[in-house]
Amino acid sequence: MDVSEFVSYRDRLVNACSQAIVGKKQEIALITVCYLCGGHILLEDVPGTGKTMLLRAFARACGGSFKRIQFTPDVMPSDVTGIHFYNMKTGDFEFRPGSVFADLVLADEINRATPRTQSSLLEAMAERQVSVDGETRKLGDTFMVAATQNPIESYGTFPLPEAQMDRFMMRLKLGYMQRGEEIGVALRQDTEDIIQKIRPVVSADETLRLRGKIEGIEISAPVMGYLMDIIERTRNDARFHIGASPRGTIALTKAARVYAAFQNRGYVTPDDVKTLAPAVLAHRLHYRAAVHSGPVDSAKAEAVFREVLNDILVPTEA
């Protein structure tokens, strides 16, 4: 299978976003994997690492419509999904679309919203539709939720429930820049101007066309067996109270295929699966020590998952 189109697609988005975000090409590539798979992304990191800036740059590079929701405790579900209001001029009720009606929705600081408001995104993320007052309205084919949250802040926040975490295809951390990169960013022109200059480099039609080719990327029986070994270990290991869901299995399989194509290969290797597994699966797991003592720090939970991952035998070529 010719995967050159996938490589070109990745390179254009990575290069466009790199105009605004320095030194995060791997993270941008993983967001691109998620977008091409039709998944949703959660960026979780400390303030000031460029989460919102990266997602804004990515939205501009993808083209299409973009809306941002700055979540706070007073944001209502109707602000997200929309509401019917009475128009006194027409004497009839009309629908006012909420912020979720866009191709890419930036849910900024999503854990500051109340559980009721958080749950208003569930149907949109799972089924690309919104039900308001008994009416179902479809969202776009390239609809994506890109959310951010601060993992160290607890005051005024509401942790995302497992059901919502499971709907994010990946959870990523940006981390700090290298010393030289940070100096360059501090001395350059205003980043806001750079973001405004980013132009769309891919189209919705191209995205949908490449999505139709994902299943053509081969994943052999041994590699699929390795992937299932990882999934089943999370369900059987005593360190986890809840293992990876079937949704996680599907997400990892699809992401591995796209990631392989981005590496200019028409087939998936065990390394592709192992590279993506922490981003795709770690946030779906429930650490057993947290059953009675509240949520465990995400970094600690991911470290435990990596220990489990390294214990699993990787298939080798005969």
pLDDT digits (tens, 9 = 90+) for 51-103: 888 888 899 999 888 898 999 899 999 999 998 887 887 778 888 888 999 99
At residue 163, the pLDDT reads 82
Question: Alpha-carbon distance 82 to 132, whole Å?
Answer: 7
pLDDT at 291: 42
Please give the average per-residue pLDDT across 213-219, as a whole number. 96
What residue spans in the chain does CATH classification 1.10.8.80 cover?
217-318
Whether the pLDDT of residue 294 is over 50: the answer is no
Confidence of residue 120 (pLDDT cuts 50, 70, 90): confident
Mean local confidence (pLDDT), 13-27:
89
Q: What top-level class would CATH report for the domain 217-318? A: mainly alpha
- Res 293: pLDDT: 46
Q: Nearest 5 degrees, angle CA 41-CA 286-CA 30?
A: 25
Residue 8 one-letter amino acid? S
pLDDT level of residue 295 (50, 70, 90 thresholds): very low
The pLDDT score that the predictor gives to residue 132 is 87
Least confident of 25-39, 95-109, 175-189: 175-189
Largest CA distance in the chain: 75
DSSP class of 135 = E
Confidence class for position 189, pLDDT limits 50, 70, 90: low
pLDDT tens string 171-187: 998 877 788 777 877 77
- Give percent of the chain with pLDDT exceeding 90: 45
In this prediction, residue 292 carries a pLDDT of 39
Strand order of the β-sheet with 41-44 is: 66-70, 104-108, 144-149, 41-44, 170-172
Give the model's confidence band at 318: pLDDT under 50 very low, under 70 low, under 90 confident, else very high: low
| Average pLDDT of every residue of the chain | 87
As a whole number of angstroms, the distance between CA 161 and CA 165 comes to 6
Instruction: Give 1-212's CATH code, choosing from 3.40.50.300, 3.40.50.150, 3.30.70.120, 3.40.50.2000.
Output: 3.40.50.300
Q: Which residue has the higher pLDDT, 161 or 18?
A: 18
pLDDT of residue 311 exceeding 50, the answer is yes
**Beta-carbon contacts of residue 187 (< 8 Å; ≥ 6 apart):** none
User: Which of 98-107, 150-159, 302-311 has the lowest average pLDDT?
Assistant: 150-159
Q: What percent of the chain has pLDDT over 70?
A: 94
CATH 3.40.50.300 residue ranges in the chain? 1-212
List Cα–Cα distances, 197 to 58, 66, 194, in angstroms. 12, 16, 5
Contact 240, 287 (CB under 8 A): yes
Residue-wise over 232-247: b if at least 16 C-beta within 10 A, else e?
Answer: ebbeebeebeebbbee
191 with 60: CB under 8 angstroms?
no
